[in-house]
Amino acid sequence: MPLTSVSFRSTSDPAEARTWFGELVAAEPVLMSVIASVTDGLAADPARYANPRWWAGSDGSGRVVAAFMRTPPFPLHVAVATEPQAVALAEHLAAEGFTLPGVGGRRRPVEAFRDTWVRLTGRTARTMMQLGVFDLVVPPRVPFDVTGHYRHARQDELELVSTWAQDFADAVHETPRPAPRLDSHVAAGRVGFWVDGAEPVSMAYASASNGGVTRVSGVWTPPALRGRGYASGLVAALSSERMEAGERCMLFTDLSNPTSNKIYEAIGYRRIGDDLEVELG
């Protein structure tokens, strides 16, 4: 079998997907973070997304070497794949008459998938977002004073958590998307608030750890409260808490927003890769 040859199998069962991808999560926990956390969430709550699907690409020995996921209405997610493997999946799905609203993940395999998809289907493609992938390998710090303090979100604050999670989703995506349900994150102490006075002024959450990696997401400060360093204090405190628990922190940033990129770099995050999200017309 040629080195670039890959065979695909798919499943709609999160437990089966978790079994398939266990070794990849251990070997590539940053790349597999989204698939790992979403798959765990669906295993615990199958109603979270309708009609999820995972694709595993295997080499000639049967070893899983590529991982893809689709949880409608979200785009196809490319987690681990070489460019030829991404091309092969595009060919496979196009031959099956599959329809996709978009594709996202690591830049180069996404570009390879996009170009193949457009060529085979005659569909159009438009770049929606360019993302930086960051991780944290040093203790976080905020290089200025921030008024207030960090604490966990409480069960009686679920309505506010849900509202801010949706506000974040609405702000970062051009097309409407449902925010993730964070009830279990709140229960596990993985949703943090920055509080100034008696009121929460900023929110973020950390995914459950997979392969030792947690993903800091949903960093949201209402527009009227921005410019005071709240997000910096919050992300530093949440990241420090997760690091002290033995977890490696990572996050994604919108590269078109230099403010957020500067915030995370000042805290201590370093850029380790680039992601791309593409709309397929």
Mean per-residue pLDDT over the chain, rounded: 95
> What CATH number belongs to 7-123?
3.40.630
> Looking at residue 8, what is its pLDDT?
97
> Looking at residue 2, what is its pLDDT?
45
- Identify the bridge partners of residue 192 per DSSP, sorted by sequence position: 152, 204
Each residue's pLDDT tens digit, 199-246: 999 999 999 999 999 999 999 999 999 999 999 999 999 999 999 999
- 7-123 and 136-273: identical CATH topology: yes
Each residue's pLDDT tens digit, 83-124: 999 999 999 999 999 999 999 999 999 999 999 999 999 999
**What CATH number matches the domain at 136-273, 3.40.50.980, 3.60.20.30, 1.10.10.10, 3.40.630.30?**
3.40.630.30
Q: How far apart are CA 196 and CA 117, in angstroms?
A: 49
Number of other CB atoms surrounding residue 71 within 10 Å: 21
In our burial notation (b when 16+ CB lie closer than 10 A, e otherwise), range 25-57 reads beebbbbbbbbbbbbbbbeeeeebbeebbbbbb
Rounded mean pLDDT of 144-152? 97
> Looking at residue 204, what is its pLDDT?
99
Domain residue ranges of the chain, discontinuous segments joined by +? 7-123, 136-273
Rounded mean pLDDT of 40-51? 91
Question: Over 60: is that where the pLDDT of 131 sits?
Answer: yes
Question: Exposed/middle/buried for 164, CB within 10 Å: 0-12, 13-18, 19+?
Answer: buried
Question: At 267, is the secondary structure helix, strand, or coil?
Answer: helix
Q: Which residue has the higher pLDDT, 177 or 21?
A: 21
> Looking at residue 175, what is its pLDDT?
77
Which pTM value belongs to this model? 0.92
Question: Exposed/middle/buried for 109, CB within 10 Å: 0-12, 13-18, 19+?
Answer: buried
> Looking at residue 154, what is its pLDDT?
98
Rounded mean pLDDT of 7-15? 97
Helix, strand, coil shares of the chain, percent, nearest 5, are: 35, 30, 30
